[in-house]
């Protein structure tokens, strides 16, 4: 079943480079997983997640009158093109995806306005449980690493959401196909993954990106193994990320620029604040600031010297 509004949305999304579109009901009960995760303290010091809980659980607080939640996927690079020491998570190797996807979502908002809808759009930037709704919308399932896994393309993608007052035809969820596989949990350098949960207090992505603490615990620093920003270990271990078809096209804006690809850790360590801002002008890495990058470099370098 389809509708003119959904047909127009899918056509426009494909033209803008999104790889898939799914729709879920905004009224679906989300369960208590997030509430239990927060109660266990697994969000570390990311207090904004606790503050935004009521909005996440009740999308009508984000957009009064919301009926449907559209989830879109946008591919990012599946290989690490950096040949110098100091690994950077694949999603962050190119331009900041928030800024890249915002105008595309604005175009889709305009498309749905034509059919009488009111919308709010986000790309990992608002109080929306995007992975939950992506699973409900049939785009994939949430794996043991907590990420959306798609049977045809794996987990290397960004998720965007459009909350709309339109009642769009919804999709059918797909079954979880992780089976007895625990490779992501076994591959996690700090043991942050268990039972489908990621404990931020142990996660390298949290410590290299989100943490506001002045130091990184010694056992976490030891596990960094040269990582400077984020961690892809659980995705690299996932068998669903092995190529099953032609590699989807990647937006050139999401590929690593030569200046970053060729910069070794000594070069990064010598960056002045102005040089840092220039090198990472369009990168999501800029938001952690030069001081945090230097902390990551110190921990990574100390670990490599010991090994």
For β-strands 227-229 and 87-88, DSSP reports them as parallel
- Phi, psi (degrees; rounded to nearest 5) at 87: -75, 145
Report which of 63, 54, 69 is spatially closest to residue 6, judged by C-alpha positions. 69
Within 10 angstroms of residue 53's Cβ, the number of other Cβ atoms is: 15
For residue 267, count CB atoms less than 10 angstroms from its CB and return exposed for 0-12, middle for 13-18, buried for 19 or more. Answer: middle
Angle CA(211)–CA(31)–CA(240) in degrees, nearest 5? 65
Catalytic residue numbers read: 124
In order of 106, 116, 242, 260, 279, the CA distances from 283 in angstroms are 21, 36, 27, 10, 8
Instruction: Report yes or no: 86 and 22 within 8 Å, Cβ to Cβ.
Output: no
DSSP count for the chain of H helices, then E strands? 14, 10
Beta bridge partners of 161: 71, 122
Q: Which two tokens stand for residue 108?
A: 């889709």
Tokens representing residue 113 in the block:
């306005």
Which residues touch 265 (CB under 8 Å, ≥6 apart)? Answer: 84, 85, 86, 228, 297, 300, 301
- C-alpha span between 196 and 145 (Å, rounded): 6
């Amino acid at each position: 079943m389809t509708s003119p509004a959904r047909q127009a949305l899918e056509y426009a999304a494909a033209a803008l480079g999104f790889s898939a579109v799914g729709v879920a009901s905004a009224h679906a009960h989300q369960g208590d997983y997030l509430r239990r995760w927060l109660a266990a303290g697994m969000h570390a010091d990311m207090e904004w997640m606790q503050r935004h809980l009521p909005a996440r659980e009740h999308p009508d607080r984000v957009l009064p009158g919301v009926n449907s939640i559209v989830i879109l996927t946008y591919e990012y690079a599946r290989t690490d093109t950096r040949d110098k020491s100091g690994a950077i998570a694949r999603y962050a190797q190119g331009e900041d995806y928030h800024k890249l996807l915002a105008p595309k979502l604005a175009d889709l908002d305009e498309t749905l306005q034509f059919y009488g809808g009111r919308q709010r759009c986000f790309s990992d930037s608002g109080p929306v449980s995007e992975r939950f709704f992506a699973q409900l919308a049939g785009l994939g399932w949430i794996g043991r690493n907590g990420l959306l896994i798609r049977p045809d393309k794996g987990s290397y993608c960004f998720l965007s959401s459009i909350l709309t007052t339109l009642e769009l035809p919804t999709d059918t969820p797909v079954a979880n196909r992780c089976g007895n596989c625990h490779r992501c949990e076994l591959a996690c350098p700090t043991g942050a993954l268990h039972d489908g949960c990621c404990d931020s207090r142990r996660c390298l992505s949290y410590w290299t990106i989100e943490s506001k603490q002045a130091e990184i615990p010694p056992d976490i620093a030891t596990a960094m193994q040269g990582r400077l920003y984020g961690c892809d270990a659980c995705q690299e271990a996932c068998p669903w990320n092995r190529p099953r078809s032609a590699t989807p096209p990647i937006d050139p804006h999401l590929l690593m620029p030569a200046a970053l690809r060729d910069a070794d850790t000594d070069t990064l360590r010598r960056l002045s604040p102005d040089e840092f801002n220039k090198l990472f002008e369009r990168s999501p890495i800029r938001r952690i600031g030069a001081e945090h990058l230097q902390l990551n470099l110190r921990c990574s370098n100390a670990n490599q010297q010991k090994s």
